[in-house]
Structure 1
Amino acid sequence: MLRELRQDRRLTIEELAEASGVSGRAIGDMERGRSRRPHRGTVTALAQGLELDEPAHARLLAAARAARPGPQRPEAVKVSPHTLPRGVRDFVGRQGELAELRALAREAAEDEEGRDAPAPPAAVVHGPPGSGKTTLAVRLAEGLASSCPDGAFLVDMRGLDERPLPADQVLSGLLGSWGVPDAELAGLGAEELLARYRELSARLRAVLVLDNAGSEDQIRPLLPREGRLLVVVTSRRTLAGLEGVRRVELGALTRQESAALLRAVVGTGRVDAEPAAANVVTELCGHLPLALRVAANWAATRTSWSLRRLADRLADEDRRLDALSAGDLRVNSAFALSYSRLAPEAARMFRLLSLVPGGDFGVPPAAVLAGVSLAEAEDLLEELLEAGLLMTARQDRYRLHDLLRLYAASRHRAEDAAAGSLAARSRLRHWLLDTAVLAGRWYEPDYGMPPADPGRLVALDDREQAARWIRIEDDSWLAAFRETAEEGEHTRVAEVAEAMHWFSDHWVSWGHWVEVYERAAAAGAALGDAGLEATHRNYLAWAYWACARRHDEAVDAALCALRLAEGAGDTLQQAWAHAYLGWLRDALDDLPPAADHYRRAMRLFTAADDVNGYLQVSCGVIRLMRATGRPQEAVETYHGIVETLADPRHRDRIPPNVRDFTTLSAVYSVSFVHLDRGDWQEAADALRGIRGQFDACGWHKQASKVHLHLAHALTHLGERAEAAAEYRAVLWLEGLVPAEVREDARAGLAALSGGRPAPPPRFTL
């Protein structure tokens, strides 16, 4: 459409670029289909350059909007939460700093090839807000793509937040991005988590940007000890306590760099035609990259303005509006100029975005805040992006720079009524929690898919979409949850926590389940509801042990839940309390008390007619019966599980994920009983039935033992070729499984090759 409109008016690309202020390269990319996502401001500038009437302008804008992915579709895409954001195309200056950082990257590569270095090099890029630290780091990472085949990653450390990101949460998130499954992360204590990080980071040729760091404590554990992982830290502070890092300071741009940035955004012809006015613009922006880009983006879409007029307007705004400063650099003039020229709807959106909790955000929360449709919200966000008042983030999401968030908040306080502000904040909070409940209940046995709702702003059509929303919006819904708890809305707190219970097993490595269930238990106590408090004390027992490895506190929580449930006559929560106590005693090999708790739990689950709880405990009983030397009881328990799963009365009461996991866990546990007794055929049949299922879940330790023990059974059955293949399958998991498992596989394979008897196996869970 753009090409046809240009040719109809007999314009060359260069002539349209001159008339519109949009670069010729950008126009060419759009016409060739290389750029399919022009921003609204760009389209408006092109329409002005083409002298389109309103209907034609609207058609061009509609075509641009249709070419952009809709805000609901990204839910289906599975990518790392630490993907590098899109860099700016018109990056200028900072050549000395880039050269220094690239030299550091070359040192990392050379050290790997034989030089003696104590640790891979790392850099701290520091400077005032708005000086372009993140932009520089992203530019560096993009330029190193060819020498970093394992990719580039960015973590927002949130150093200025009230709750900066703790190092252990960063470790867990990065390991997840590098392929370590959540189930494995859940079993790692703090020291093991750090060891796993160091093991994997030593093998990566990649760039890791730790953005917006607040303190040395955040960063120190994340600096690798060996390998080729280049770590680049950005911070407003120098982080002087970090040893062995290269420090690169960013100040204001030079006069020449500032002019180059103006040329890149506004156009060379306009800047060179008014060098004196261009110099005034850069001086008024304090040569600060963020302020310059805001002003330049504003000018780029107003081709009829001279730079002198822009300079006069900047000076006027600086006199009239409150100052917003970054150190000794005054930047409010640039912000105020772009803000004052926004359409009223876009200006209102900008102010409301200061209410968004967390870091980045998508289109739906913005639509909820402003009370507009998704399409309208996206257009307004793109207008803010074009004006330089908004930044892009991962996965087509947006974020406000810290200074711009402060400026938006100041305008919100000055221009919006308190009642309207409270209403918008409440609207967003309720939407976040409503969506969290719907997404979490996808995993609840009694709920599943939410009812159809054409007005729903996000797609929740399957478990994957639900999980993706929970994960990607965790900052926002958790902030809403905290605010709800602090407001004393106890019933709502318990509802959200309950909805997340079954999902939590799928994201054990998230660092906030203890907080969620501590707040929910406190809500139950505040309501005076002993049964509700018992429920969340039970969940808290799980969170203390599964997520934080705080065993004593987990036991105390489960005992408290048991007392509360007994007092309330709540059979089901008594059952769960015994189940958790059995699990916790089992974890310490305190087997007689564990067996007693499990037996009580099974009786109580039967009395409460809760088949899902009964099945979970039954799988633990198989393991316990084997450990206490009662193999026949273990096998009988297994057959009881099979019969329960096959019972038609339970067909719709057991969710598919619970059914699949129960089957996998039960077969895996009973296979060890067969192996102990030398029932090789039964063991082989069982293990063949679950071969590959742990692999698919990313549970490498269990997967390796399935392969290893199947190989042992097959060796005894004389099926040597298949046994050898299973031993090799263990060795292919190098680096992902315990060393003793790999040693057993090598010994078994060597015995097969040499025609010797297989070595005595170690059948351990």
Structure 2
Amino acid sequence: MGITAPFGRMLRTLRQGRRLTIEELAEASGISGRAIGDMERGRSRRPHRSTVTALAQGLGLDEAAHAGLLAAARAARPGARAAESVRASAHTLPRGVRDFVGRQAELTELRALVREAADGRAGAPPVAVVSGPPGSGKTSLAVRLAEEPSAPCPDGAFLVDMRGLDERPPSAEQAVAGLLGTWGVGVAELARLTAEERLGRYHEVATGLRAVLVLDNAGSEAQVRPLLPRAGRLLVVVTSRRTLAGLEGVRRVALGTLSPRESAALLRAVVGAGRVDAEPGAAGRVAGLCGHLPLALRVAANWAATRTNWSLERLAGRLADEDRRLDALSAGDLKVNSAFALSCSRLAPEAARMFRLLSLLPGGDFGAAAAAVLADVPPAEAEDLLEELLEAGLLMTSRQDRYRLHDLLRLYAAARRHSEDGEEGSLAPRSRLRHWLLDTAVLAGRWHEPDYGRPPEDPGRLVALDDREQAARWIRAEGDTWLAAFREAAALGEHTRVVEVAEAMHWFSDHWVSWGHWVEVYERAAAAGAALRDATLEATHRNYLTWAYWACARRHDEAVEAATSALRLARTGGDTLQQAWAYAYLGWLRDAVDDLPLAADHYLRAARLFTAADDVNGYLQVSCGMIRVLRGVGRAQAAVETCRGILDALADPRHQDRIPPNVREFTALSALYAVSFVHLDEERWEDAVDALRSIRGQFDARGWHKQAGKVHLHLAHALARRGERAEAAAEYRAVLALDARVPADVRNDARAGLAALSAGRPAPLTRFAQ
């Protein structure tokens, strides 16, 4: 993306005002003449702080003029702002390397696989495993392949960072849930599916895609094996430092170091062909000192590209003589720290400090706000420092305005931090980051809690939390970082802090069931409650843990044990509300295994306790579950009365401000859907039509296609029996319009209904399955 016109015009005006040619400014600043010309014409990428500083020095600007030029450059950045947001998909590709060179043989092989996948003639589409040492360019190669316009992938390209070197890398289940969300499967549908069902849904969706999926930085075969497609036209490219020899039927592409010719080509692309061709011997020595490793070469080349007055011979000399105290950092047997050290040695002190501090962030990507907190600088200054590191090749871009630190560079940054700052020097930044992350997590999570909502105004807040969606985006985008801070707080014995964060996330967790870490969050919170010797607090979080065990992990026995423990603790603490929730969860768990009589008993106990505790939201939730259970044990009238009680509670003016709008809407929808089956069972067609007409279209709008199909189908059946044939036919056709989004048996029933109407009779009915 080109820089905006005001910066280019300002730069040209300043240069001409000092009667300098582009070549003279290049000589004075160390910035290439071509780069200056591109900036003035608005053809280059956004300018970075170090570039602007070099230009200001070359122009001889005073402090005020320098600040004005820097402000214009900052305004030119499309991502520059104090408050970050994350709108891009979590699995969009990072920005590819602009000057990618070499790897032609490997690209040719991978392009053939893209064509093979697009052809779709084979049973299972091909899978490529790209392996090689760290820094060899595996991710760059995969992204280059996915970005090629010639690749026949109309449905796009996606990347999942498997983070195989992490202590707790993401599981295949977590990757599946994230990809399904990216591919349009709604949160509500994900919440209803078991892990096995999500995997099946993943393969169902993947079969219909013509796309490239990059599973980057895989740590083991088990991490990626479930994700390999069984049919369709989705090409999967796995990158890993390991060969993943246990994967069968895959095409293996091994990356070594670059050849001398490819190394020279990379130097030409970054430094400039003229300088490299003028010193071929020195260029060869630079490549050799970098081990012909793409990452090290690019770091050294980026450093040289911004210093046009340096010869490559001088660069080679500096690489050869660089401090060897960190030789332990290697890629296999390749020592690459010299290139990193050289780039770090020329960073401004603030940028070098930022680089070291970034090693305190967990793996994955991060935003400028977290970096600002670490370095204790304003967000705009943090962004400038990050852009300087990006320009030096010490940082990579990620989705939208986020950044990533390569694993090797993270190790190098950590080593520099230990060496230069010591552990004592890391304590304050680490603590500052932990407190900020957990404070923000609490504010963002509470947006979804009825008693809190919008946080108080704070002009100094580093991230925008102006609505629920912004809060949700922050929680998801920074999931790795705030979870790491949460773990650190637990390890440090900050028990009150742990339960505060977990409590704040309670309402939001329903919107991100697929995350994969809620069991850990609530296990730690329950342990913190026990450590605080607070029976009610522990009961609360054991109830939450019950939900996590069953809703997120389908661990039924552990869920029952957690709920039973919560009930015992709540009785000990004399807490009526937590007793109600424990019974509600026990009813839910009995319902899940079709023990309906016991489920009904637990639900009724819960409803009475919620009423005693004056908790209308809990009462509504448990009552919705109760309708289906009462129907199952043959208590139709009790089920209808329960629905009537729900609707009365929703209409009661005393509860107007106590029930959140989303809870109000969903409760009415759930209750009327559940009671419609009771009316259908009893052949009360008019009551069934009234209930179903009142919710028609609401499931469709939420993406709950199976339920939407059943609403249309059952409404059609009821209308047909009332003699309203035209409207019944329209509802049957509405089912068929949903096509493959509803189960085949529902579509077949709709076709049978239409056929029966044509024959002048209503469709035959079986028991209505909810």
Q: TM-score, normalised by structure 1?
A: 0.95
Further displaced range: 58-67 or 517-526: 58-67
Segments of 4+ in structure 1 off by > 6 A? 10-29, 48-51
- Looking at structure 1, the residues matched to 730 and 50 of structure 2 have their Cα atoms a distance apart, in angstroms, of 60
Match of 1:640 in 2: 645
- Looking at structure 1, the residues matched to 234 and 370 of structure 2 have their Cα atoms a distance apart, in angstroms, of 36
* Partner secondary structure for residue 565 of structure 2: helix
One-letter amino acid of the counterpart of residue 205, structure 2: L
- Looking at structure 1, the residues matched to 44 and 629 of structure 2 have their Cα atoms a distance apart, in angstroms, of 61
- Looking at structure 1, the residues matched to 427 and 615 of structure 2 have their Cα atoms a distance apart, in angstroms, of 43
- Looking at structure 1, the residues matched to 80 and 586 of structure 2 have their Cα atoms a distance apart, in angstroms, of 48
- Looking at structure 2, the residues matched to 738 and 409 of structure 1 have their Cα atoms a distance apart, in angstroms, of 53
1:274-293 to 2 correspondences below 5 Å:
274-293=279-298
Further displaced range: 751-760 or 554-563: 751-760
Match of 1:578 in 2: 583
Match of 2:445 in 1: 440
1:711 matched to 2:716? The reply is yes
Residues paired across the two proteins, number: 760
Contact 2:83 2:462 in 1 (8 A): no
Q: CA deviation at 1:53?
A: 5.9
In structure 2, the gaps of 5 or more residues are 1-5
- Looking at structure 1, the residues matched to 432 and 358 of structure 2 have their Cα atoms a distance apart, in angstroms, of 13
Q: CA deviation at 1:753?
A: 4.3
Match of 2:49 in 1: 40
One-letter amino acid of the counterpart of residue 709, structure 1: H
2:687 to 682, 693, 712: 682
Contact 1:82 1:153 in 2 (8 A): yes
- Looking at structure 2, the residues matched to 17 and 699 of structure 1 have their Cα atoms a distance apart, in angstroms, of 61
Contact 2:495 2:532 in 1 (8 A): yes
Q: CA deviation at 1:321?
A: 5.5
- Looking at structure 2, the residues matched to 18 and 664 of structure 1 have their Cα atoms a distance apart, in angstroms, of 71
* Partner secondary structure for residue 654 of structure 1: coil
- Looking at structure 2, the residues matched to 710 and 372 of structure 1 have their Cα atoms a distance apart, in angstroms, of 61
Q: CA deviation at 1:565?
A: 0.9
- Looking at structure 1, the residues matched to 581 and 23 of structure 2 have their Cα atoms a distance apart, in angstroms, of 72
* Partner secondary structure for residue 348 of structure 1: helix
Q: CA deviation at 1:51?
A: 6.8
2:152 to 107, 128, 147: 147
One-letter amino acid of the counterpart of residue 632, structure 2: A
- Looking at structure 2, the residues matched to 614 and 215 of structure 1 have their Cα atoms a distance apart, in angstroms, of 46
- Looking at structure 2, the residues matched to 761 and 603 of structure 1 have their Cα atoms a distance apart, in angstroms, of 35
User: 1:208-237: CA deviations, max 9, x gaps?
Assistant: 101111111112111111111101111111
Q: CA deviation at 1:735?
A: 3.1
Match of 1:461 in 2: 466
Match of 1:479 in 2: 484
2:87 to 75, 78, 82: 78
- Looking at structure 2, the residues matched to 151 and 193 of structure 1 have their Cα atoms a distance apart, in angstroms, of 21
- Judged with a 3 Å threshold, the aligned counterparts in structure 2 of structure 1 residues 283 and 715 are, in CA distance, closer, same or farther, namely same
1:322-341 to 2 correspondences below 5 Å:
322-341=327-346
Match of 2:698 in 1: 693
Contact 1:90 1:265 in 2 (8 A): yes
2:675 to 650, 670, 677: 670
In structure 1, the gaps of 5 or more residues are none
* Partner secondary structure for residue 294 of structure 1: helix
1:362-761 to 2 correspondences below 5 Å:
362-760=367-765
Match of 1:6 in 2: 12
- Judged with a 3 Å threshold, the aligned counterparts in structure 2 of structure 1 residues 615 and 321 are, in CA distance, closer, same or farther, namely closer
One-letter amino acid of the counterpart of residue 66, structure 1: A
- Judged with a 3 Å threshold, the aligned counterparts in structure 2 of structure 1 residues 31 and 202 are, in CA distance, closer, same or farther, namely farther
1:317 to 315, 319, 322: 322
Q: CA deviation at 1:146?
A: 4.9
Match of 2:208 in 1: 203
One-letter amino acid of the counterpart of residue 303, structure 1: T
- Judged with a 3 Å threshold, the aligned counterparts in structure 2 of structure 1 residues 12 and 210 are, in CA distance, closer, same or farther, namely farther
1:192-231 to 2 correspondences below 5 Å:
192-231=197-236
* Partner secondary structure for residue 229 of structure 2: coil
Further displaced range: 714-723 or 164-173: 714-723
- Judged with a 3 Å threshold, the aligned counterparts in structure 2 of structure 1 residues 34 and 589 are, in CA distance, closer, same or farther, namely farther
- Judged with a 3 Å threshold, the aligned counterparts in structure 2 of structure 1 residues 724 and 71 are, in CA distance, closer, same or farther, namely farther
One-letter amino acid of the counterpart of residue 92, structure 2: T
User: 1:10-53: CA deviations, max 9, x gaps?
Assistant: 88989988987768887677566566633334444555676766
Give RMSD over aligned pairs.
Answer: 2.3
- Looking at structure 2, the residues matched to 608 and 320 of structure 1 have their Cα atoms a distance apart, in angstroms, of 66
- Looking at structure 2, the residues matched to 120 and 763 of structure 1 have their Cα atoms a distance apart, in angstroms, of 40
Contact 1:124 1:247 in 2 (8 A): yes
1:101 to 106, 110, 121: 110
- Looking at structure 2, the residues matched to 527 and 621 of structure 1 have their Cα atoms a distance apart, in angstroms, of 35
User: 1:114-165: CA deviations, max 9, x gaps?
Assistant: x4x3421111111111010000000000015651011111111111111122
Match of 1:133 in 2: 138
- Looking at structure 1, the residues matched to 130 and 604 of structure 2 have their Cα atoms a distance apart, in angstroms, of 59
Contact 1:389 1:404 in 2 (8 A): yes
Contact 2:643 2:675 in 1 (8 A): yes
- Looking at structure 1, the residues matched to 529 and 292 of structure 2 have their Cα atoms a distance apart, in angstroms, of 55
* Partner secondary structure for residue 237 of structure 2: strand
Q: CA deviation at 1:370?
A: 0.6
- Looking at structure 2, the residues matched to 653 and 80 of structure 1 have their Cα atoms a distance apart, in angstroms, of 34
* Partner secondary structure for residue 515 of structure 2: coil
One-letter amino acid of the counterpart of residue 102, structure 1: R
Q: CA deviation at 1:371?
A: 0.6
One-letter amino acid of the counterpart of residue 520, structure 2: E
1:183 matched to 2:183? The reply is no
1:87 to 96, 102, 105: 96
Contact 2:118 2:153 in 1 (8 A): no
- Judged with a 3 Å threshold, the aligned counterparts in structure 2 of structure 1 residues 422 and 145 are, in CA distance, closer, same or farther, namely farther
* Partner secondary structure for residue 361 of structure 1: coil
User: 1:403-448: CA deviations, max 9, x gaps?
Assistant: 1001100110011143331111111111111111111111112111
* Partner secondary structure for residue 213 of structure 2: strand
User: 1:95-117: CA deviations, max 9, x gaps?
Assistant: 1110110011111223x2xx4x3
* Partner secondary structure for residue 93 of structure 2: coil
- Judged with a 3 Å threshold, the aligned counterparts in structure 2 of structure 1 residues 420 and 319 are, in CA distance, closer, same or farther, namely closer
Q: CA deviation at 1:524?
A: 1.3
Contact 1:130 1:288 in 2 (8 A): yes
User: 1:515-549: CA deviations, max 9, x gaps?
Assistant: 11111111111221111111111111111111111
Contact 1:21 1:300 in 2 (8 A): no
Contact 2:157 2:212 in 1 (8 A): yes
- Judged with a 3 Å threshold, the aligned counterparts in structure 2 of structure 1 residues 125 and 720 are, in CA distance, closer, same or farther, namely same
- Looking at structure 2, the residues matched to 446 and 97 of structure 1 have their Cα atoms a distance apart, in angstroms, of 57
Contact 1:712 1:761 in 2 (8 A): no
Q: CA deviation at 1:734?
A: 3.0
* Partner secondary structure for residue 206 of structure 1: strand
Q: CA deviation at 1:662?
A: 1.2
One-letter amino acid of the counterpart of residue 112, structure 2: A
Contact 2:362 2:481 in 1 (8 A): yes
One-letter amino acid of the counterpart of residue 651, structure 1: Q
Q: CA deviation at 1:676?
A: 2.4
Contact 1:531 1:570 in 2 (8 A): yes
1:298 matched to 2:303? The reply is yes
Contact 2:115 2:152 in 1 (8 A): no
Match of 2:74 in 1: 65
Contact 1:17 1:24 in 2 (8 A): yes
- Looking at structure 1, the residues matched to 217 and 149 of structure 2 have their Cα atoms a distance apart, in angstroms, of 21
One-letter amino acid of the counterpart of residue 453, structure 2: G
- Judged with a 3 Å threshold, the aligned counterparts in structure 2 of structure 1 residues 732 and 64 are, in CA distance, closer, same or farther, namely farther
